[in-house]
Structure 1
Amino acid sequence: MAALQAVQASYLAIRDDLFQALWETVYMVSASTVFSLVFGFLLAVVMITTGPHGLRPNARVYRSIDMAVNLLRSLPFIILIIAIMPLTRLVMGTGIGTTATIMPLTIAAAPFAARLIEGSFLEVDKGVVEAARSFGASRWQTIFMVMLPEAMPALVLNIAVLAITLLGYSAMAGTVGGGGLGDLAYRLGYNRFQTDVTIWCILLLIVLVQVIQSTGNFLYKRLR
């Protein structure tokens, strides 16, 4: 009974901060997921088109994009967010805060999204693609009307993976003033030795991961 009362007292003491941090995390992850998917999809389309077995192979273009994607993916996020802080200030008007963090999150996740989308497209049966081409489908028709619908189930699962990865990135961003659950856990849980705050933040992050993955699994089954 005493333990339950202690948990309730802990929750009531930080409830407002906890919900504010949760909202900031959901906002950062949602916005950066959308933006990274847009840029990642554009990169993936170019790679699918210009790749060795693409619709219009171009080794020079493919190698350039492939190298750029690998370079960005090789940078740890905590280093990337510091390295591009001048650019973030220039574009966003500030280098810290929840909204400002969306930019480094997007830059970090777009190459990862491009690889996931490219992999989903490469899993499409080549026979289906060749059949569409033999019926006179253009490159864009083949990509958007054949490959994209065929790859959609795998894409949904990969989007869930991307969102969960960004959730982890957003927690790291909290250590450099990015806001969200990571910021709350660092600012109160670590700096002020409030272990209960850290535990609540971890529990909420676990719930968010479960919700994202369960939604992805549900949509995957429906699309299959």
Structure 2
Amino acid sequence: MNLVPVAQPADLSLSAVVDALRADLQALKENNRQRNLETDRNLENERNLENVRNLESDRIRTMEILALQEGNTTLQKDNTSLGQRVEYLSGEVARLTSGSERLPSVLERLAMEIERPTDKCAGLMSDVRRMMSGIEGTTSGTGRPTNVLSERLLRRASYNKSGFNKSGPGSKGAVKRQVRLQRPYSLSATKRKRHLRSIVVDVCGLHRILRLGRE
């Protein structure tokens, strides 16, 4: 039996093996250190991103709070203004009821207080102006207005003498109504004041409806 000799490495000294192992260990340590540094950087970046997200969320919440505070301030101002307007209108109605001030001037200020009037409110304002012109043109001591009041106001007066405001169009009463509207028509001062008060109450009611609608 013939044995074939195995080729031996050139250097199998123990010191060379130890040096190689030390070099591998040092490389592993360096690689591990680099990985740890990269992991730390990633964690730091994640913490920074989380802080940025938290700061952005806090900024948005702060802006919302400031907007709510500003809106609350605006609402408080609006409520104060509305309260002053209601108090003013109440005072005007009280002065109108007590008769301590001339009705036309009170009605003029009430008309100016109505904002964005509806069709009904605009019609009431038109009636108020007609009634005002009727009162201001009254001859002193006679109670007779110098101009003609609108048919709508005459219907509000419920003046039913001699079939007036009773008959429909096309009848003798309608012709009589047209003839009577062509000349000055007399209402007593008490009736005029009562009718004006009813108009003012309607106007104030419409003002409250408009205010509630805006709220």
TM-score by length of 2: 0.29
Larger relative CO (CA 8 A, sep 6+): 1 or 2?
A: 1
Greater per-residue helix proportion: 1
TM-score by length of 1: 0.28
